Amino acid sequence: MAEFDDERIASLKQRRKTATQDRFLTFAGLALAGASAFFPWYVFFNADKFGINVTASSNSRELPDWPARNVFSVSPLAMVNKNETAKKVPPVDPLTTATVSDLGKARDGDAMLEDQPFPGKSSFRLLHVSNGRALIEDPSGMYVVRIGSVLPDESRLATLEQRDGKWVIITSKGEIYKKD
């Protein structure tokens, strides 16, 4: 009978231990559920701590009116080496007419090449200059460029400067575009 009482006491101790663990887990689960239910409201009422910081902006398409920065030097990428010899390229017919140049007939050891402009030269216009950047437009779209950027005519932007109160951009080919 003593064994039976010892087993019964051990069983009661085990049940109390299990009941205490169950109560703890129940309390922890309820606390977690309460915190989960409360957290979205905390975030809602404290949006400045959790929200996305959005900078104020206007809906205009103008460039920001920041003070202009002086241009003191030209980017090395925008400079053209004037001492570089031009690569000799065979003559190109701008129209597909299957004509042949007369240059092939008069060969005296040196291939004579005629100057032929690149067909369909792209032109663009200067719209606005601000903060060391220029807004240009060509038939394919509008672009914001800065010194060293490749322009639609495949030159590079060499300088941005004001002449007679109007903005002017000068390309690496030496062409000058004025603001309209």
| 7-54 residue pLDDT tens | 888 888 888 889 899 999 999 999 999 999 999 898 888 888 876 766
User: Residue 156: inside a domain, yes or no?
Assistant: yes
**How many domains does the chain contain in total?**
2
pLDDT of residue 80: 65
pLDDT of residue 140: 81
User: Residue 69: inside a domain, yes or no?
Assistant: no
pLDDT of residue 36: 93
The Cα–Cα gap between 70 and 130 comes to 11
Under a CB-based contact definition with an 8 Å cutoff, are residues 113 and 89 in contact? yes
Residues of the chain with pLDDT below 50 are 110, 116-118
Cα 129 vs. chain centroid, distance in angstroms? 19
Task: Give the structural domain span for 149.
Answer: 125-178
pLDDT of residue 125: 87
User: Residue 76: inside a domain, yes or no?
Assistant: no
Give the amino acid at 19. A
The Cα–Cα gap between 2 and 13 comes to 16
pLDDT of residue 29: 95
User: Residue 109: inside a domain, yes or no?
Assistant: no
User: Residue 82: inside a domain, yes or no?
Assistant: no
Element holding 163 (H helix, E strand): strand 157-163
User: Residue 117: inside a domain, yes or no?
Assistant: no
User: Residue 174: inside a domain, yes or no?
Assistant: yes
Reported pTM: 0.35
User: Residue 91: inside a domain, yes or no?
Assistant: no
pLDDT of residue 143: 85
Which of 163, 97, 177, 80 is closest to 134 using CA atoms? 177
